[in-house]
Amino acid sequence: MNRASSLNPWGIRSYDHTDVRHLPAYQRAADAIGELQRALHAEQPDMRIDDFHHLLVDLAAGRRILDRCPTCSAGPHLPYRIEHDDNGTTGHYECGCGHTWFCGWGITRPYTLADAA
Ligand SMILES: [Zn+2]
């Protein structure tokens, strides 16, 4: 990921999504990212573009540890906070009912797109 700079104030990098651009989910994701960007701007107008890019990467990575609410079974939910260190990964969650919980994960193999299917 490129960092924003005076020469690249949007922190954009060269990329080619030709192989996936036809997927309806690709456009829906782009639309959802735009909606998120507008909502964040309304709440945090000073958010740096690098922080927004990191948030998007974190959202994608957090999908590895989606979890259902242990109280009402709603979900699966994306963790709103992750703590990762040499001992493992802990996700923190909140469901739409306001229940909060955390769960530790032992991630021992690479994450593939098949895991997200
Ligand atoms: Zn719940």
Buried-state track 15-26, b at ≥16 Cβ within 10 A, e below 16: eeeeeeeeeeee
Residues 81-96: tens digit of each pLDDT: 999 988 889 999 999 9
The confidence score (pLDDT) of residue 117 equals 63
- Taking the centre of ligand 1 as the mean of its atom positions, its distance from the CA of residue 82, in whole angstroms, is 19
Give Cα 82 to chain centroid, integer Å.
11
- Name the residue among 44, 95, 86, 24 with its Cα closest to residue 66: 95
Q: How far does residue 43's CA lie from ligand 1's centre (Å)?
A: 25
Distance CA 13, CA 16 (A): 10
**How sure is the predictor about 1, in pLDDT bands with cuts at 50, 70 and 90?**
low
Give me ligand 1 centre to Cα 30, in Å: 29
Q: What integer pLDDT is reported at residue 48 of this predicted model? A: 93
- Report the separation in Å between the CA atom of 23 and the middle of ligand 1, taken as the mean of its atom positions: 33
Nearest of 60, 73, 61, 62 to residue 101 by alpha carbon:
73
Q: 64 C-alpha to center of ligand 1: Å? A: 20
Q: Which range is least confidently modeled, 1-10, 39-48, 64-73? A: 1-10
From the CA of 93, how far away is ligand 1's center (Å)? 10
CA of 3 to the centre of ligand 1 (A): 37
Average pLDDT, the chain: 91
Determine the Cα–Cα distance for residues 85 and 103; give it in Å rounded to an integer. 14
- Answer yes or no: pTM beyond 0.85: no
Question: Strand 81-85 to strand 88-94: parallel, antiparallel, or no bridges (unpaired)?
Answer: antiparallel
Tens digits of per-residue pLDDT, 31-61? 999 999 999 999 999 999 999 999 999 999 9
Rounded to the nearest angstrom, the distance between the alpha carbon of 102 and the centre of ligand 1 is 12
Q: Where are the beta strands (DSSP E) in 15-85?
A: 81-85
